[in-house]
Amino acid sequence: MMRQAVAGDDETYHRLLRQVTPVLRAAARRGLARAGQPADQSEDIVQEILLAVHLKRHTWDVTAPFAPWLFAIARNKLIDALRRRGRRIFVNIDDFAETLADEPAAPKVSAAEVDAQLQTLPQRQRDVLQSIAVEASSIKQTAARFAMTEGAVRVALHRALSSLTAKLREQ
Amino acid sequence: MRMETDQLIRTLVADNAQRVLPVGIILLLALMAATPVSTAMLLLGLGVRPDVMLAMRNPFFDLKFVVTMALAISAATVSLHLSRPEASLQGWGWLLIAPIVVVSGGIVSEMMLPQRLPMLARLVGHNSLLCMSAIPVLSLPILAAAMIGLRHGAPARPAAAGAIAGLLSAGAAATLYASHCTDDSPLFVATWYTIAAGIVAGLGALIGKRVLRY
């Protein structure tokens, strides 16, 4: 399946990503639970893994089995995310007392970290992402809407995904 | 703006047409761009040793290139392997023994031949300090290129991949430096070239730890 997907079969690629997502979600939940973290943060990790799988799909050797490659990326991203959370919790302890009194706990949303980093993308990239991801427009429709060439939309989209990944890694 | 996972998946599919060249090609292109820079640094900064035509008839002079090229090629192969997310050093690390085997063979054959200089003098050589500093300096452009190439990969262990990239660039830099170096004894090579490669490998590990995460 992955062989067809990397060869450019978008429909197969879509099906593949949808099929692996529940597996990744379960793994992320297990990892969070084992680290004593709330499982409702799993969606951030799932999205980070999917982004890495997508951006690094050229490192999969078409003659090698797919599962070890996928799980190696998933494990890498999960460890990264847990390490980051460990550090962040430690940092938060300092200002906990001051914020506790007057600020209610932030409502839990599905992928809070990814959403937060989305806000920091350049306007144009965000427009393109909004159009394609949220409004389900095609590349063509998006190009017409923003008076861009299709090539420029593709580039903006790819940049948006790359810099989103970089921001999530460095946060 | 919020993005559900299903929406993200749809977006990734929309981006599927965007192709990236294989890591090996990008690594090769980057190295090909950096090698002339290091070569120019050698030619302008140090130059080739004046008796190079004569030296080429000395098998121990030629052996230096075999050792350093063996290091560069084996490290390039291993670092390319390590650029994959599921890869480990297991089963591949032994490739790095190749230059050690060659230099050990050189030491043994030198021992069996009559020598004008005592062993210690051959080991200490004429200019070990220059060797230890020139190789790391010459390796810098190549190390940068190797990092750029490997960043397109997804190494499971960024520090290890960085260290091997360091060995690769030290091997390439040492191949260049060997044409300047007047110390041909395999004992000299085994000692000082190894220290120089170790320095670059350490540097590569430090840089790799930061820039090779994906």
pLDDT, one tens digit per residue, over B177-199 is 999 998 889 999 999 999 999 99
The residue among A54, A75, A118 with the most chain B CBs within 10 A of its CB, best to mutate, is: A54
Select from B2, B8, B19 the Cβ nearest to the Cβ of A50. B8
Q: Is the pLDDT of residue A102 over 70?
A: no
pLDDT (average), residues A14-34: 91
d(CA A45, CA A80): 9
B175 near A CB under 8 A: no
Are the Cβ atoms of B3 and A115 closer than 8 angstroms? yes
Read off the pLDDT of residues B70-88 as tens digits, 9 standing for 90 and up.
999 999 999 999 999 998 8
Predicted complex ipTM: 0.84
Residue B35: the pLDDT is 96
For residue A96, pLDDT beyond 80:
no
Q: Which of B13, B23, B156 sits opposite A72 (nearest CB)?
A: B156
Of A46, A76, A119, the CB nearest to B85: A76
d(CA A142, CA A43): 27
Mean pLDDT, to the nearest integer, of B36-56? 91
Predicted TM-score (pTM) of the model is 0.86
- Name which of A34-38, A134-138, B137-141 the model is least confident about: A34-38
- Name the nearest CA neighbour of B150 among B81, B77, B83: B83
Read off φ and ψ for residue B128, nearest 5 degrees.
Answer: -70, -30
Per-residue confidence (pLDDT) for residue A88, from 0 to 100:
58
- Please provide the average confidence, as pLDDT, over all residues in chain A: 83
pLDDT of residue A72 exceeding 90, the answer is: yes
Q: Which amino acid is at B159?
A: A
Could you tell me how far CA B114 lies from the centroid of its own chain? 33
Closest CA to B125 of B179, B60, B185: B185
